[in-house]
Amino acid sequence: MKALTKTEREGLLAKIDGLSQRIVDLERDERTHREKVELLDEDVANGKAGAKAEAIRLDEKARAVRLEIEACQRAKAAAQQRCKDDQPFRDAEIAAEQKKSREEACRYVYAHARECDEAAQAPASSPTS
Q: What is the pLDDT of residues 53-88, one digit of tens each?
A: 999 999 999 999 999 999 999 999 999 999 999 988
| % of the chain beyond a pLDDT of 70 | 95
- Total count of domains within the chain: 1
| Spatial contact of 12 and 85, defined as CB atoms under 8 Å apart | no
- In a domain? residue 101: no
What is the pLDDT averaged over residues 27-46?
A: 91
C-alpha gyration radius of the chain: 33
What's the full length of the chain, in residues?
Answer: 129
pLDDT at 125: 60
Rounded Cα distance between 4 and 19, Å, is: 20
Q: Which pTM does this prediction carry?
A: 0.67
pLDDT at 91: 87
Query: What residue numbers bound the domain in which 81 lies?
Result: 6-86
- In a domain? residue 112: no
pLDDT at 126: 54
pLDDT at 12: 94
- In a domain? residue 97: no
pLDDT at 115: 84
- In a domain? residue 25: yes
Rounded Cα distance between 7 and 125, Å, is: 58
Residue type at 65?
A: V
- In a domain? residue 113: no
Sequence-distant (6+) residues with CB within 8 A of 3 are 86, 89, 90, 93
| % of the chain beyond a pLDDT of 90 | 48
**H-helix segments, 2-125:** 6-45, 51-121
- In a domain? residue 122: no
